[in-house]
Every structure is written in C-alpha cells, then in structure tokens.
Amino acid sequence: MDLLKKVGLDVQNTSNLMPEAISIPWQLAHVPKKLHDQTIYQDEGYLSIAKLDRITGNDIDELIRILHRHGGYADLIIASDSFILRKKHSVIMPLLKRPISQAEVSEITEHMFSAEMRSYAFEPGHEIDDAYVVDDPSNEELPFRNRVNVCTMNSMKGRGLKITLRDLPVIPPSYEDLNVPEIIRKNAAPVQGLVVICGQTGSGKTTLCASILREMKENNEDPRVILSYERPIEFQFDVISGINPIWQHTIGEFGDFKTFHEGLKNALRCSPESIFLGESREKETFETLPKISESGHHGLTTMHAKSIANIFTRIGNEVDPSQMYGIIRQTLQYMHMGVYQWLAPTVDGKVTPIQEILVFSAELKNELLSLQNEDLIQGINLAVEKYGQPFKQSASKALSEGLITKTTYNMAVLSH
C-alpha cells in the first residue's frame, strides 16, 4: 500500500465491501440451509432436549410429542453414531445437535420394549417388529402410535442398533379419506375369494387394507367376524363404531403366533367370515393361502410384488419347484382381485396412489386356467391390459389431472 502511495496511486479501502459473516444458531449448524425455516428448530422443548448430554427413552417420547406439534413425521430413524433423522414427503431432516451413541440407542430400546427384546434384536439375523405407543397429554384416548423396527447395523464405531419408527394414524382411514376407486370398493370384500394388495415397502398397502377393514366393520348390512394377523398391529379398530368385530393378533417372536402360517392355521379353525394376513411372504403361507377361499372365507392380504402378475411369480419362486404351477393355479382359481400400488409424490408435496387393478371374474379365470403353465404370467399381464386398469393408464390420469409432474410420471412408469 505504501509503495502505491509513493507513485501517486490512490487505492480504495475495500474492507467494507467484504460480506459480513453470517452467524448460524447452534441448533442449525448441521442442518441444510433449505430446512432452516422449519419451526421445530425454534421450539423451546426441542432446544432443551437438543442441549442434553445424554438422550433417554423419555426424551425420545417427548421428541415424538414435539414433532407432532410441528407436522409430524413419516419415519423417525434413531441409529448408533448418527444424527436422529425425521423423514416426511421424501425430505430428510437431522435432529438434535450431535450423533446419538450406541449406549443411548440401547437404553432407548430397553425403554420401548425390554432388556430381553433388546438382547434378541442384537443377535445376528434377529429384529424387533412391533408397535410403540406414546401418550398424548392433550388427548388421552388417542395416543401417538408407531410401527417400530429394531435391528443391528454397522456404524463407524462398530456394531450398533437402528430404530425406525413409522408414524401410524390412530384412526383407520375411510374410503373417502383415501379416495379409493369405485372398482376397489365394490370388490374388496367378497363373500368368498382372495384380495391381494401388492407393492413395495412404504407404498400404502396396509393403509389401503385398513380402509377395507374399516368399511367391513361399519357395514351393519353385511354381518362378519373378522380376524387379523399382523406384524405388528398398525391400526386399532376399537375407535370405529360398527357391529362387526375385528379381533387382532400379533405375529412374531414375542407375539400371539410366531409366523403368519401359524396365524392362518388358527384362523381356519375359528370360522370367521373374513381373514386379514398383514403380509404373505412364507412358503408355508403361500401353500395355505388358497385354503382361505377354498373353505368359504374372504381373504385379504398384502405382498411385496411389483405387479399383479408378479404376485404369482413371487408365489412360484417361494414354493417347491415341484409344486410351483399347482399352487399358482390354485391361487389363481380363488383370486377375486389384485391391486398393485405405488405412491407418487404430488406437486403440492403430498402423495397419490398410482394403481394397477384387475378383478378376476369367473370367465377370466377360466380363460387363464386354460393356458399352458409357461403362458400363465404373460396371460395375466395381458388380462390387466384388456380387462383391468393398467398402471400406465392410472399414471397418465394423475398427470393429466395435474397431480404429478412429467418427471414423476416417467419415474412411476419406470418403477413398474
């Protein structure tokens, strides 16, 4: 600067042109900038928990209550040596001010369940899949319910635990709440026959089934005893009026029955009108599933499959090869309706179901059962196009109505 002055050059002081350092509040230091305006980060109760040196199970209960004051969550993920994460509408939000330790996660697990269940979950290949309830002081009759999965995982510091809580609506949704199509309403609860709702994890399969169960409970013109077997029980039906009872059973190591197959065997001994299996996934369940309808019952279940035709592929892959086509044909003989569902993000930040639907009429089943074994799956795919609601048609409708973007439409079609 002195040298420049000597040669007669006047140099402007530019220090005042430097951008001012922006002070970020401590609770936002690890939060993406686009989430800084989230109201929970200013909540006094949240800030009190965030300052704690050790997080307990009671603190997580209070955090759940606080989250429900600020829009709730779809999933709350608590994993060893990681920030607690809130997930909703595909947005992930880090919570508190530091990663949570393995010791804290272990203590939280014991608070939610028991030392025995925590030890069980820490064994390789084991998991807890159950429900967890947090009381709501503002409404004692309707607490906050969660589906909880606890399993082991590997963190930077070694083997730890991961807790995933999925928020469950206390009141089962109605057909109107979900805007269920008329074709599903008319065919979801036949006197006899199988109804299978399929899709990937988080596609709303159980929620759609809950609306079907609610409709059956409320329909006093159609008397039914309904038995459900779930892992865990996600929706409570005691809060719904209606004369038709829904008796719920839990499946799992610490449940009423250890497997869905055991639950299904129990159901067939109890003479209900309707049987709900929370998920069909075991070889023994697939082998027994046709017996629901064969013995004169209505069966409702969910399955991880990526199309209606894939329901039958999935069954074939799970059972003994020597029995494969026999069980596929048995299941097809007793099918009443198949629904594949995928939840698409909407332009307003919510989700809408894109659905493939096929009602298996007697004529259609005769047509399909006349095919050679190797042509069955292709025949079902063609039947969806000819007699049902194809997935692409449902996606096109959502696009034309302005519910989803072209990008989401393309993603939906590719997912199928």
pLDDT in tens, 66-124: 999 999 999 999 999 999 999 998 799 999 999 999 999 999 999 998 878 777 877 88
Q: Name the pairing type of β-strands 335-345 and 298-303.
A: unpaired
Is pLDDT of 17 > 70? no
* pLDDT for residue 8: 56
* pLDDT for residue 19: 56
User: Distance (Å, rounded) from C-alpha 217 to C-alpha 246?
Assistant: 7
Q: Which residues pair with 257 in a beta bridge?
A: 251
131 and 147 in contact (C-beta within 8 Å)? yes
User: Distance (Å, rounded) from C-alpha 373 to C-alpha 215?
Assistant: 37
User: Distance (Å, rounded) from C-alpha 115 to C-alpha 107?
Assistant: 9
pLDDT confidence band for 13 (50 / 70 / 90)? low
CA dihedral 202, 203, 204, 208 (to 10 degrees): -150
Question: Can you give the pTM of this predicted structure?
Answer: 0.79
The span from the first CA to the last CA of the chain, in angstroms, equals 68
User: Distance (Å, rounded) from C-alpha 371 to C-alpha 379?
Assistant: 8
Burial of 33 (0-12, 13-18, 19+ CB in 10 A): exposed
Is pLDDT of 5 > 80? no
* pLDDT for residue 155: 82
pLDDT in tens, 306-342: 999 999 999 999 999 999 999 999 999 999 999 999 9
Q: Which residues contact 272 (CB under 8 A, 6 or more apart)?
A: 224, 225, 226, 227, 297
The structural domains of the chain, ordered by start, are 27-167 (3.30.450.90), 175-415 (3.40.50.300)
To the nearest whole number, what is the mean pLDDT of the chain?
91
Q: Which residues contact 33 (CB under 8 A, 6 or more apart)?
A: none
pLDDT in tens, 338-371: 999 999 999 998 889 999 999 999 999 999 999 9
Amino acid at 169: P
107 and 187 in contact (C-beta within 8 Å)? no
Question: How many Cα atoms sit within 13 Å of 309 on the Cβ side?
Answer: 17
Amino acid at 305: A
Is pLDDT of 282 > 70? yes
Identify which of 238, 281, 245, 242 has the alpha carbon closest to the alpha carbon of residue 263: 281
Which of the listed ranges 107-111, 123-127, 193-197 does the model predict with the highest average pLDDT? 193-197
* pLDDT for residue 23: 83
**Tokens standing for residue 14:** 């530019």
73 and 88 in contact (C-beta within 8 Å)? yes
pLDDT in tens, 227-253: 999 988 888 898 899 999 999 999 888
Q: For the chain, give the percent of residues with pLDDT over 90.
A: 71
Residue 262 CB coordination number (10 Å): 18
* pLDDT for residue 236: 87
- C-alpha distances in Å from residue 334, one per residue of 51, 105, 188, 295, 366: 58, 46, 14, 10, 11
pLDDT in tens, 33-65: 999 999 999 999 999 999 999 999 999 999 999
Specify the higher pLDDT residue, 138 or 374.
Answer: 374
Q: Which residues contact 320 (CB under 8 A, 6 or more apart)?
A: 283
Residue 20 DSSP one-character state: P
Phi-psi region of 84 (alpha: psi -120 to 50; beta: other; left: phi over 0): beta
259 φ/ψ angles, rounded to the nearest 5 degrees:
-135, 160
327 and 319 in contact (C-beta within 8 Å)? yes
pLDDT in tens, 132-188: 999 988 877 678 999 999 998 988 888 889 999 999 887 899 999 999 999 999 999
* pLDDT for residue 11: 54
Q: Name the pairing type of β-strands 246-250 and 127-134.
A: unpaired
Q: Name the pairing type of β-strands 127-134 and 351-359.
A: unpaired
pLDDT confidence band for 10 (50 / 70 / 90)? low
* pLDDT for residue 130: 85
Burial of 157 (0-12, 13-18, 19+ CB in 10 A): exposed
pLDDT confidence band for 14 (50 / 70 / 90)? low
* pLDDT for residue 277: 93
